[in-house]
Structure 1
Amino acid sequence: MLALALALASSAFSLRLPSQPPAAAAHVALRRALAPPRTAVAAAAATSTPFEFDELGDSWSASGGSSVGVLLLSVGSPETPDDVEEYLYNVFCDPEIVTLPPLLSWLKKPLAWFVAKSRAAEARAAMAEVGGESPQVATVRRQAEALQRTLVARGVDASLFIAMRYWRPYAEEAVAQMKAQNVTRLVILPLYPHFSISTSGSALRVLERMLYNTPGFPTKSTVVPSWFNRKGYVDASARAVQKALASLPEAERQTAQVVYSAQGLPRKYVEFLGDPYLGQAVLTTQVESGVALLSEELRARGVSNPHTLSYQGQVGPSAVPWTEPSTADVITQLGADGTRALVLVPISFVFEHMGTLNEMDRELAAVAEQAGITSFARVETLGTDPDFIDALASVVQEALP
């Protein structure tokens, strides 16, 4: 559903470009109050190393001493069809996605409502096809609970908070909770393996503004921009691929094609980062590196199936180019080349949502069937897999300010 909004934003509105390229030293740039504001988010894409926000905003004194908080970030998702319009409205009101010329800025909110209402029926229909609800928010809550239990078992008495960019709980709610609990040390952890402006980026920008402008924010905060290369995550992902392969007919398990499907972006939106190649170069580098690590782990486990990388989520006018190749095109070509067994891997996601339940399980499965592929399996997202949660716990511990 976010992909739909991005496509509309790319085709229907102008996108404001930063006035200068991202700083080379990302971890330094991100701890400063930078201008233009998007520079920091762009720079975050250049590193997977946690970086600190130092001396930010007005500090407060916690009466009970230092309190540790972990803030999980996600774009969020409408939980029911009744939530769709408000969710889309929030997307189109995001200045990181859509902007208008200054003289027309007064049109932003009414235009956002108009677009949200005009596309709501399509989004509701998509939700109805997968049972009328999205499990994303509920899954993130379970992930937060599992991560907190793991941290406590390791001796880290941390409070877990959730901030969704376009749906509840919003960042403002998380901030209020953190202030109420006197959080003074904070780790910000996006729930996406790879950094992308369309997922982690906008939420990080909102938090940056709060860190610099909201009295009472923690004085020590660390951001983990990506974690695709963590061994526990790679191991858990490899087991999930093995499980999907095992579900195929035995004669096809060793020859089945593995397709790693990453979330795509409109190219015009990627260029929004300032350098027309930076955004895609970073996203592609991280995704390709993640696929290489996962393939290496699978080979170590005796799995050497052929594999390829593609991008999903392409919607909107055909005149708007997206990252390539598209997953649908790759599947179609594989079928034409004689592939009859295929495993689809949602490489960008760790929770089920519309991109997995509708696009993968319904639309791309139908593409595979039409292409003559007779055995199709989709790898389950990791959710609360113990090894995955354990890997996130290690990330948090290492990033504690």
Structure 2
Amino acid sequence: MSSSAAAGGSATAGSEPFDAVLFLSFGGPDGPDDVMPFLENVTRGRGIPRERLESVAEHYLHFGGVSPINRLNLEMIDALRAELDRRGLDLPVYFGNRNWHPMAEDTVAQMYREGHRRVLVFPTSAWGGYSGCRQYHEDIDRALTSLTRAVPAATDPDSAMLLRKLPQYWSHPAFVAAGADAVRRAIESLGPGDDAPRLVFTAHSVPDSADAASGPAAEGGHLYSRQVMAASQAVADALGITDFDQVWQSRSGPPQVPWLEPDICDHLEDLAARGIRRVVVYPVGFISDHLEVIWDLDNEAAEVAERLGMDYARAGTVGPDRRFIEMIGEFVESYAGGGGDLTAMGCADNGRTCRENCCVPAARPGSVGRPPSRS
């Protein structure tokens, strides 16, 4: 069932106001006992051997079995509530996840019980592609399907629920400005040196086939990598930096499956071989310092840089930045009145599942090196 079907046809009625906001994210464990159930949720249906999940679990257990993503999301939600109050918008903000509590299905059911029928959804991913866009539509559809099974009245057009995903924001000026300031602070943290530090942008790697399938084939696909590169270019332009690198992190597939490269650690080796000894890394692909950022960049990449004798700094992510929260508030205010085309399809301003054959997930046999994340 699509989100438009679950809404009982109301997806085309753009004049009715929205009455709540769902902050939709990936999820993460809150303690050691949560780690394996969380990873099983992430990899369900992919036939991953338990011993491989246990090796990934060690990353989480290294930090006490707690991913910071839920805490950081709750901090952003509190800031967003204050921002909506500042704008005079009386819309409650709820929290739901794809893979861990609070699960999106449970949150949507709670929202329905509390009388909400038209909900704006903010996803913690700035990007197009399957993991960054279409999968959030699938989360919405799954939650609505679960609701209509549990509450038959929710299929009635007069009491049906509409969840509308807000637009992507990778090119939004606030996203770019917050990123540029984060990079600027990281550069300053290195102090003076003979050479300007090399700026390296990272984002979550995906299989080459998934990137090729992202966006409409008629537009050349590769929507995800094109958006990441464009966002990196925009941040570099804001800093007056003309030469930088775009690399990838957190690949989770078997070596025989091609993924976007180069990997951040391999790239640091290449930079050192070229005599570069000062590096600033900015995780443009992530909006918060969750576990993949901390493990991949603050541990693995930092250790590689130390071994190579590099001065290394990792820029912060945009989540806590006031301008980023204001951007979310701006989106909510723009759509709260019910305007906009709720039937638009594809990776943009849309309120239903992506176009047929747009951002179709690629097969990922045996993939798990790290749990994939877009948040």
TM-score calculated relative to the size of structure 2 = 0.77
Aligned to 1:395: 331
1:143 and 2:76 correspond: yes
Shift of 1:370: 3.2
| Change in 2 beyond 3 A, CA 1:235/1:138 | same
1:297 and 2:238 correspond: yes
Distance in 2 separating the partners of 1:161 and 1:121: 32
Shift of 1:88: 1.7
Aligned to 2:317: 381
**Conserved? CA contact 1:165–1:202, under 8 Å:** no
Structure 2 counterpart of 1:161, one-letter code:
Y
3-state secondary structure, aligned to 2:115: coil
**Conserved? CA contact 1:66–1:183, under 8 Å:** no
**Conserved? CA contact 1:74–1:200, under 8 Å:** no
Of 145, 154, 177 in structure 2, the residue corresponding to residue 235 of structure 1 is: 177
3-state secondary structure, aligned to 2:248: strand
3-state secondary structure, aligned to 2:120: strand
**Conserved? CA contact 2:198–2:279, under 8 Å:** yes
Aligned to 2:118: 185
Of 23, 26, 39 in structure 2, the residue corresponding to residue 75 of structure 1 is: 26
Matches within 5 A, 1:239-388: 239-251=181-193, 255-270=196-211, 281-299=222-240, 304=241, 306-373=243-310, 375-388=311-324
1:62-108 CA-partner distances (Å, limit 9, x unpaired): xxx966211112111222222121112112225xxx4xxxxxxxxxx
Aligned to 2:140: 207
Distance in 2 separating the partners of 1:341 and 1:92: 37
- Larger RCO (CA under 8 A, 6+ residues apart): 2
Distance in 1 separating the partners of 2:278 and 2:251: 24
Distance in 2 separating the partners of 1:260 and 1:280: 21
Instruction: Identify unmatched segments of 5+ residues in structure 1.
Output: 1-32, 35-51, 60-64, 99-110
Distance in 1 separating the partners of 2:121 and 2:271: 40
Distance in 1 separating the partners of 2:18 and 2:122: 17
Aligned to 1:47: none
Aligned residues: 323
Distance in 2 separating the partners of 1:274 and 1:233: 21
3-state secondary structure, aligned to 1:130: coil
| Change in 2 beyond 3 A, CA 1:282/1:119 | same
3-state secondary structure, aligned to 1:247: helix
| Change in 2 beyond 3 A, CA 1:67/1:270 | closer
| Change in 2 beyond 3 A, CA 1:137/1:72 | same
| Change in 2 beyond 3 A, CA 1:237/1:126 | same
3-state secondary structure, aligned to 2:96: strand
**Conserved? CA contact 2:22–2:95, under 8 Å:** yes
1:133-158 CA-partner distances (Å, limit 9, x unpaired): 21101111111111111011101111
Matches within 5 A, 1:95-244: 98=46, 111=47, 115=49, 117-211=50-144, 214=148, 215-216=153-154, 219-244=161-186
3-state secondary structure, aligned to 2:222: helix
Distance in 2 separating the partners of 1:307 and 1:218: 49
Shift of 1:269: 4.4
| Change in 2 beyond 3 A, CA 1:89/1:378 | same
1:329-369 CA-partner distances (Å, limit 9, x unpaired): 22211111111100010111111222111111111112223
**Conserved? CA contact 1:81–1:133, under 8 Å:** yes
Aligned to 1:44: none
| Change in 2 beyond 3 A, CA 1:131/1:249 | farther
Shift of 1:238: 1.0
3-state secondary structure, aligned to 1:186: strand
